Amino acid sequence: MVLAIPFPAIDPVAVAIGPLAIRWYALAYIAGIIIGWRYALVLARRGPRPATGKAIVDRDMDDFIVWATLGVVLGGRIGYVLFYKPGYYATHPLEALQIWHGGMSFHGGLIGMILAMILFARGRDIAFWRLADVVAAVTPIGLFFGRIANFINGELYGRVADVPWAMVFPTGGPLPRHPSQLYQAFFEGICCFAVLAVLEWVYRVRERPATMSGAFLVAYGTARIVGELFREPDAHLGFLFYGTTMGQLLSLPMVLFGIWLIARARRPA
């Protein structure tokens, strides 16, 4: 018999007051946005100040938080609908609005965030890459809290495993599995944040616009590709080309584009 750690059955609802229910999933998004916003203010105040054009000030980051929230939530949900379950939501369109049941795509959220940054930067006359580099540096904070919420919900669990820390998830059948949500929280959240923090506070890479953004794309894309090796593929998609998953296929272009951004930023002006 394979030993497994009991899954800590945590109620997905953190607080319930009558018909009002506040879920851990929502609190994770709120925590990621608020903490990320505060760190973004620190980075904006730190500079660097551009030789030409407008610098990012506190008011810009205060106002952008609304744009960022809309970009992440709308983009993440639309991305999930289009990338992962287009057939299902084509026949159940109203369920696409029920985001409290989970189902968000990071890659969709990334696209939504990029669109929000483009529109906001144009409206404020801010250089796009100056804003993007700040956002890139704080994004792992939200990723960490999001993966912890996935674990609490018992969703996006890992593949069947015989490691001592494997868990039997409530909806994952009787066999123990990798707690891949915690792996991804560590690599996509903590490790990515640490790498970007070193680049910020030791190497000051934001002095070369787009370098931080490229580094994030490479770090996250690599972490996601590796993390998918332990995560159970979505049941309705399964494995795709040569045993790859949808998450891996969507992350590979991110890594390649990130490498190109870093190389481009290093070229002499």
Amino acid at 90: A
Tell me which residue of 136, 110, 140 sits closest to 223, measured CA to CA.
140
Residue 48 has pLDDT above 60, yes or no: yes
Bridge partner list, 54: 126
Percent of the chain scoring above 90 in pLDDT: 63
Which position has the token pair 């992440």?
A: 72
Q: Which two tokens stand for residue 184?
A: 């991804």
Q: Is residue 201 part of a domain?
A: yes
Confidence tier at 80 by pLDDT (50, 70, 90): confident
Would you tell me the crossing angle of helices 211-227 and 192-201 to the nearest 10 degrees? 160
What angle, rounded to 10 degrees, do the helices at 58-83 and 106-124 form?
140
The residue to which tokens 């934001």 are assigned:
206
Please report whether residue 259 resides in a domain: yes
Q: What is the pLDDT of residues 198-248, one digit of tens each?
A: 999 999 999 999 999 999 999 999 999 999 999 999 777 788 888 899 899
DSSP state of 6: E
Radius of gyration of the chain (CA): 19
Domain residue limits at 59 = 21-266
* Beta-ladder partners of 108: none
Please state, in angstroms and as integers, the Cα–Cα distance from residue 213 to each residue in 110, 128, 248, 251, 259, following that order: 12, 11, 19, 15, 10
Residue 127 lies in a domain: yes
Residue 54 placed within a domain: yes
**Mean pLDDT lowest for which of 12-16, 100-104, 250-254?**
100-104
Give the torsion through C-alpha atoms of 25, 27, 31, 32, to 10 deg.
20
Instruction: Report the range of poorest mean pLDDT among 78-87, 155-164, 241-250.
Output: 78-87
Domain contains 202:
yes
Please check whether residue 4 lies inside any domain of the structure.
no
Question: Do the domain assignments include residue 11?
Answer: no
Total structural domains within the chain: 1
Average pLDDT (129-142) is: 96
State the pLDDT at residue 3.
65
Judged against a pLDDT cut of 70, whether residue 159 lies above it is answered with yes
- pLDDT classification of 87: cutoffs 50, 70, 90: confident
Q: What is the DSSP letter of 185?
A: I
- Beta strand pairing call for 5-6 and 167-168: parallel
Whole-number average pLDDT of the chain: 90
Report yes or no on 13 lying in a domain: no
Flag the least confident range among 8-22, 86-100, 239-253: 86-100
